């Protein structure tokens, strides 16, 4: 999110206050019973090996957590000495009862069937990174900003983060190496937000490398299959390579990072670059066949001249489509908008300059029209337009209705677990941890009390109130009102089916009730626990949930990410509304924070970005079409021809339940970019042909035979290349490949069937006036 995002700032502030460390979770299902001596020994060795890793500060497991109910003791005795399974000879039956029933451990450290246990690896904090961020925030908050210092600290942050990511990646690899050594003793799975982030980056890097090579090979094969000459493979490849390399250099110069969201910018730029080059190739071949006696330089010049105007306007419109992403509230999406805008501009320049220069150096060679002769899709489409006009309109209307109704169903819900195929180890591990060990995505509820110690005189007699001012304030903080409020909020959160584990001071209150034979702890007993509990256990059950200094309580929950029908935004709004009602008479306020809130903000921003993108680009499209053709009817026809394919793509996503996510956010821009590219090239060629003889039908046929093949080839090449992405293990990459193929197909059919049919129906140009103007200009 953006640096000034209020929820991000609040989450960071709470993390600093309560020391929310980064952690990994290992789910272990041993072959032997969980409390058997052999498992005790395995867990001891396993924990020791994990603690030896540089990145791990501590390992929490059923070996070393405090046993507060085995057996049940009075509070005064309990604080004198707390036992653990690892250092005592307590009856295994009592230990099992506590782990299964204690609100501190059930569905948290052990599963309900007592076959799975968790090892929680607390990772060492990156203090250097935290200090850099604090320094950056301090610089930004100054009224007179020193932008030189801000840029310098941002470069330092980026450099440190890059090196730290590699350290974290190696640390996770080391954890997995140790896990593999204990695989013979049972099923072991790794989870945690750090692992998810690292695996996502690893999957994307693999996809970019492996599928990049495969994509390049398939595109080369497709180009050779179509054109049957080596030059038409080498020239596009060189232009694509130089365009991507130049764009990467510019991004590096400006310090823009390639993130998960913007990682597909190379693929997107390839689409645009190939489209430009293929249109130039087809036009050159057409001119070479028509003017057999012209020189090579003359043919290249005519090619560039005839394609300059439509290519320029199609590229500018595509830039406008991607440029609309800069109005998002998400930094990676803003960066993607800038990346693509710069990349497409570079592709336009190099597409003309480099392609034209290299082609001029090659000898003229008679083009081969094998593909056009044997697979005449453009000719079939022109025939369909002439003979099946009503059918095309009916089908288009049906597609629009289905698309619009499907688009209404479009959702932005997505879960981390859904990013990976169910057959992968990461999916299996996340599912086990999510369903058996209390959920995955953290959600914190921060409750701040309005009351302070100064108002305690309202609850205490004068002597007690005076004593409270001179003694430890903690002893008098736990008022009856606070305890009841904490219990009420804790019980409410536990009642939500989407919330797995809930930890807070309310957990301690529940345990205290058990220890007190069913009687709730009073304020003095809570104060005794607060002051006397040993430090090694205090950081587990007190410090992460209480800040007396700030009069605040933290409720740490985890959302069950894999829950069927989970609606994050609705859940957060319900919790927010219910807590407002619950706390309105309690002299307390609340606020939600942590990853769940930030992730939901991201999802909602994705949806809003799509709305803004579509609305903005439709206006730009209309302006571009009018500017290019100076004809409102042409602009109307072009908009209709583009809106229907776009609605079809979003309808397809809606009906199949494919969510908008970090990868599919670009689908609107791709749909518009490809659709507009085809539309402008076709309209420009149609106009030229119409001027030639004034016959709409004949102009349509000739336009199909000319520019129709370039559109067809571009779509065929890109569809073949991107179809390989559907075999990825990363679900967003699969969706991106599948939807790109669908976008190309719909844009092509829209331009070769619906657009010409609309032109024949509306007849936006006055033929007599066109021919008269043409004769005058001649």
Burial group, residue 423, by CB count within 10 angstroms (0-12, 13-18, 19+): exposed
In the predicted structure, residue 470 carries a pLDDT above the cut 50:
no
End position of a domain, from candidates 539, 572, 599: 599
Lowest-confidence range among 42-51, 405-414, 686-695? 405-414
Least confident of 304-313, 621-630, 677-686: 621-630
Task: Give a yes or no: residue 248 inside a domain.
Answer: yes
Confidence at 454, pLDDT banded by 50, 70, 90: very low
Q: What is the pLDDT of residue 284?
A: 93
Residue 583 lies in a domain: yes
d(CA 8, CA 138): 16
Domain count, the chain: 2
Tell me, yes or no, whether 577 lies in a domain.
yes
Residue 54 domain flag: no
The predicted pLDDT at position 472 comes to 54
Same-domain pairing of 627 and 595? no
Please state the rounded mean pLDDT for residues 29-39: 93
The answer to whether the beta carbons of residues 613 and 668 sit under 8 Å apart is yes
Q: Is residue 450 located within the same domain as residue 347?
A: no
Lowest mean pLDDT: which of 448-457, 529-538, 652-661, 731-740? Answer: 448-457
Look up residue 108 and give its DSSP letter: T
Q: 255: domain range?
A: 198-413+600-777
336-369 pLDDT, tens per residue?
A: 888 888 999 999 999 999 999 999 999 998 888 8
Which has the closest alpha carbon to 710: 322, 221, 281?
281
Residue 118's region, left for phi above 0, alpha for psi from -120 to 50, else beta, is beta
The answer to whether residue 678 sits within a structural domain is: yes
Whether residue 754 is predicted with pLDDT greater than 60 in this model: the reply is yes
Q: Are 562 and 434 in contact (CB under 8 A)?
A: yes
Q: Which pTM does this prediction carry?
A: 0.77
Question: End of a domain among 599, 622, 642?
Answer: 599
Neighbours of 658 (CB within 10 A): 20
Task: Answer yes or no: is 542 within a domain.
Answer: yes
CATH number at residue 372: 1.20.1640.10
Average pLDDT for the chain: 84
Same domain (yes/no): 551, 624: no
* 474 shares a domain with 336: no
Q: Are residues 590 and 614 in the same domain?
A: no
Torsion of CA 318, 319, 322, 326, to 10 degrees: -160
The domain boundary, picked from 539, 564, 599, lies at: 599
Q: 377-381, 592-596, 769-773: which range is least confident on average?
A: 769-773
Quote the CA–CA distance of 730 and 723 in Å, as a whole number: 14
Residues 293 and 329 in one domain: yes
Residue 389, both tokens? 């006009």
* Residues 402, 475 share a domain: no
Verify that 592 and 622 share a domain, yes or no: no
420 within domain boundaries: no
Do residues 736 and 639 both lie within one domain? yes
Task: Specify whether 351 is located in the same domain as 483.
Answer: no
b/e burial code for range 241-272 (CB count within 10 A of at least 16 → b): ebbbebbbebbeeeebebbbbbbbbbbbbbbb
Residue 207 has pLDDT above 60, yes or no: yes
Query: Do 384 and 500 share a domain, yes or no?
Result: no
């Amino acid at each position: 999110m953006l640096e000034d995002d209020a929820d991000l700032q609040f989450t960071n502030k709470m993390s600093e206050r309560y020391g929310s460390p980064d952690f990994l979770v290992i789910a272990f299902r041993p072959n032997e019973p969980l409390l058997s001596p052999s498992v005790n020994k395995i867990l001891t060795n396993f924990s020791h090996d994990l603690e030896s890793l540089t990145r791990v500060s501590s390992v929490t497991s059923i070996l070393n957590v405090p046993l507060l109910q085995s057996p049940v003791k009075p509070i005064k005795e309990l604080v004198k000495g707390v036992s653990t399974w690892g250092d005592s000879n307590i009856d295994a039956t009592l230990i099992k009862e506590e782990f299964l029933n204690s609100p501190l451990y059930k569905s948290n450290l052990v599963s309900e069937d007592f076959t799975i246990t968790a090892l929680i690896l607390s990772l060492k904090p990156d203090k250097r990174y935290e200090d850099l961020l604090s320094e950056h925030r301090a610089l930004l908050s100054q009224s007179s900003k020193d932008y030189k210092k801000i840029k310098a600290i941002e470069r330092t942050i980026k450099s440190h983060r890059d090196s730290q990511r590699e350290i974290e990646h190696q640390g996770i690899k080391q954890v997995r190496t140790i896990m593999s050594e204990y695989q013979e003793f049972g099923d072991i799975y790794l989870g945690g937000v750090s692992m998810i982030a690292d695996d996502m980056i690893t999957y994307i890097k693999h996809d970019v490398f492996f599928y990049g090579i495969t994509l390049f090979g398939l595109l080369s094969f497709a180009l050779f299959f179509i054109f049957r000459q080596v030059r038409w493979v080498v020239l596009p490849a060189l232009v694509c390579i130089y365009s991507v390399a130049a764009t990467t250099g510019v991004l590096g110069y400006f310090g823009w990072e390639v993130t998960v969201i913007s990682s597909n910018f190379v693929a997107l730029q390839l689409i645009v670059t190939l489209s430009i080059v293929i249109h130039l190739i087809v036009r050159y071949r057409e001119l070479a066949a028509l003017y057999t006696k012209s020189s090579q330089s003359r043919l290249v010049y005519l090619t560039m001249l005839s394609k300059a105007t439509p290519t320029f306007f199609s590229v500018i419109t595509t830039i406008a489509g991607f440029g609309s992403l800069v109005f998002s509230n998400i930094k990676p999406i803003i960066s993607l908008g800038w990346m693509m805008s710069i990349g497409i501009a570079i592709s336009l320049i190099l597409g003309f300059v480099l392609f034209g220069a290299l082609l001029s150096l090659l000898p003229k060679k008679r083009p081969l029209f094998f593909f056009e002769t044997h697979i005449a899709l453009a000719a079939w489409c022109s025939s369909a337009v002439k003979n099946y006009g009503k059918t095309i309109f009916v089908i288009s209307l049906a597609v629009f209705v289905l698309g619009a109704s499907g688009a209404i169903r479009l959702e932005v819900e997505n879960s981390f677990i859904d990013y990976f195929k169910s057959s992968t180890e990461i999916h299996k591990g996340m599912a086990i941890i999510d369903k058996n060990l209390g959920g995955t995505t953290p959600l914190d509820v921060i409750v701040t009390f309005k009351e302070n110690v100064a108002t305690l005189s309202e609850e205490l007699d004068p002597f007690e109130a005076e004593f409270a001012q001179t003694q430890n304030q903690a002893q008098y903080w736990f008022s009856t009102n606070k305890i009841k409020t904490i219990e009420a909020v804790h019980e409410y959160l536990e009642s939500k089916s989407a919330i797995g584990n809930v930890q807070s001071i309310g957990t301690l209150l529940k345990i205290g009730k058990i220890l007190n034979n069913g009687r709730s702890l009073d304020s003095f007993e809570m104060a005794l626990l607060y002051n006397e509990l040993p430090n090694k256990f205090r950081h587990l059950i007190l410090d992460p949930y209480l800040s007396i200094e700030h009069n605040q309580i933290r409720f740490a929950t985890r959302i069950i990410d894999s829950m069927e029908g989970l609606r994050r935004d609705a859940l957060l709004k319900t919790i927010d509304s219910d807590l407002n009602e619950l706390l309105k008479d309690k002299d307390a306020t609340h606020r939600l924070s942590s990853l769940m809130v930030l992730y939901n903000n991201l999802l909602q921003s994705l949806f809003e970005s799509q709305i803004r993108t579509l609305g903005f680009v439709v206006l730009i499209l209309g302006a571009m079409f009018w500017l290019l053709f100076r004809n409102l009817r042409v602009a109307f026809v072009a908009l209709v021809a583009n809106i229907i394919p776009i609605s079809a793509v979003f309808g397809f996503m809606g009906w199949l339940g494919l969510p908008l996510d970090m990868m599919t956010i670009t689908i609107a821009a791709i749909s518009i970019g490809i659709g507009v590219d085809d539309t402008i090239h076709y309209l420009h060629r149609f106009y030229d042909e119409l001027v030639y003889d004034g016959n709409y039908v004949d102009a349509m046929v000739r336009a199909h035979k000319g520019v129709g093949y370039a559109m067809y080839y571009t779509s065929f090449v890109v569809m073949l290349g991107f179809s390989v992405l559907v075999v990825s293990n990363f679900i967003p990459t699969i969706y991106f490949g599948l939807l790109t193929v669908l976008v190309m197909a719909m844009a092509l059919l829209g331009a070769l069937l619906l657009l010409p049919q609309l032109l024949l129906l509306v007849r936006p140009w006055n033929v007599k006036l066109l021919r008269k103007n043409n004769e005058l200009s001649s």
